[in-house]
Structure 1
């Protein structure tokens, strides 16, 4: 069992550890980590007092082998109520991902009842360790499957990170949410025969940041045609819903079984 972070910082590069690989190939970086690295850099360089990270869009341009990565950011817009910043993630083979964060200024919450409100789900947090994984790729994070994998109807999981992202840095709530959000793709796109879509992006929207280490994800929609899929999930913590994540995905020739 690995005990180290997913990446080690060496000068301006982040060097992946063996457990940073993804489920599709043993020599492929996991896309969820690229979203986490983008969130980390954007928060570190562009956070501000009174500003909330309301949206993070991560575009996964290409599969990347297990190579050192660099993350560069740029401030796109800085207004009174909105700040926008981009991140570009590269290896020596070129750009592999890009992300955009939208920060909104917090203010007074409007009074009155909303016409549509996402309810808190009725899944209690896990009371023990996750069950032992089966054959195949082992998730390098704690995963409790509340519903059967690939069964009809909305899928539900609880997730908890086990390792730091970079060196011994504590995970911030925003980075923790960005890591969990990538699970929107397998959860919304899985079927009884396995996962036959691989996501090209994800967009996470947050009304608030998660509290605590546990994040719940519930699939709430899937449509697909001609080998292209769109899916969505609702994200929760132990106190209630906190936001959503939407993904687009393309059919993959080899199914991944969970």
Structure 2
């Protein structure tokens, strides 16, 4: 394992070179912003018996490879619900924000559900992960379907670097990082990715077990250059949650939002 994506220096998180995204060598990868927000909210507001049920991440501004700060605020703290926000900034201004909902766990209702998400039939990966051409993912990626092929796109993901310093990647942060893959899977076309996402909303029935997270595209709708897509997230034991994204068309090379 090599260095983390970020190094903590006082109140700032300084990105390492491999924190860049695929679109530009001097641009932070958007998935890391969701991971940092999840980390900060979990660090400050997690509590035994409270489950991270939702994380919404707004990615409204691309950022160069600059130090990042994450500020959090407790919005609501009730008997069964806790809501917290995070704001992600550089010295150029705010680049993203997030909101998390934590719900009190209790007894599971009995009886059958009328709709149940089935476990997918994809076994854990056995071969080596894919390697990129111009950009090699700084995480392990196994494609179970080709980009733009008809039908649901499927991948397995596994984090290979710590997010900050040598901290272990928690299950919640791991899910937040994987959720960003909802956009390329649900918005891909035969000629490539023609939509760039502006946000994502992760919902979790339970936290992932183990290092592997599977992502399967289960829906896409678009009109007038605006799209919405959805995926189901799995671990090796079964489905764990869903992720919904909104995106805007970008037929040219993807640049600023």
Please indicate the TM-score interval, normalised by the length of the shorter structure: over 0.9
Give the C-alpha shift of residue 225 in structure 1.
1.0
1:37 aligns with 2:29: no
2:211 corresponds, among 210, 213, 217, to 213
- Match of 1:150, SS? coil
2:157 corresponds, among 148, 159, 177, to 159
- Provide the C-alpha distance between the structure 1 equivalents of 2:103 and 2:205, rounded to a whole number of angstroms: 10
Q: Which residue of 2 aligns with 1:186?
A: 184
- Match of 2:251, SS? strand
Q: Which residue of 2 aligns with 1:249?
A: 247
- Point out 4+ residue stretches in structure 1 off by more than 3 angstroms: none
Give the C-alpha shift of residue 194 in structure 1.
0.8
Q: Which residue of 1 aligns with 2:199?
A: 201
- Provide the C-alpha distance between the structure 2 equivalents of 1:251 and 1:66, rounded to a whole number of angstroms: 25
1:139 corresponds, among 132, 137, 140, to 137
Q: Which residue of 2 aligns with 1:57?
A: 56
CA contact (8 A) 1:83 1:103 kept: yes
Give the C-alpha shift of residue 134 in structure 1.
4.0
- Provide the C-alpha distance between the structure 2 equivalents of 1:134 and 1:245, rounded to a whole number of angstroms: 25
CA contact (8 A) 1:194 1:255 kept: no
Superposed CA deviations along residues 132-173 of structure 1, whole A, max 9, x for unmatched, are x24222111000000111101100000000100000000000
- Provide the C-alpha distance between the structure 1 equivalents of 2:119 and 2:11, rounded to a whole number of angstroms: 42
Q: Which residue of 1 aligns with 2:68?
A: 69
Q: Which residue of 2 aligns with 1:120?
A: 119
- Provide the C-alpha distance between the structure 2 equivalents of 1:134 and 1:128, rounded to a whole number of angstroms: 16
Q: Which runs of 5+ in 1 are unaligned?
A: none
Aligned-pair RMSD on alpha carbons?
A: 1.0
TM-score normalized by the length of structure 1: 0.96
1:148 aligns with 2:146: yes
Superposed CA deviations along residues 155-200 of structure 1, whole A, max 9, x for unmatched, are 0000000100000000000000000000000000011111111110
35 and 52 in structure 1: CA distance in 2 versus 1, 3 angstrom threshold: same
Superposed CA deviations along residues 10-36 of structure 1, whole A, max 9, x for unmatched, are 110000011111111111111100000
- Provide the C-alpha distance between the structure 1 equivalents of 2:136 and 2:129, rounded to a whole number of angstroms: 12
- Provide the C-alpha distance between the structure 2 equivalents of 1:162 and 1:252, rounded to a whole number of angstroms: 30
Give the count of matched residue pairs: 254
- Provide the C-alpha distance between the structure 2 equivalents of 1:5 and 1:209, rounded to a whole number of angstroms: 23
CA contact (8 A) 1:193 1:255 kept: no
- Provide the C-alpha distance between the structure 1 equivalents of 2:19 and 2:194, rounded to a whole number of angstroms: 22
TM-score normalized by the length of structure 2: 0.97
Q: Which residue of 1 aligns with 2:172?
A: 174
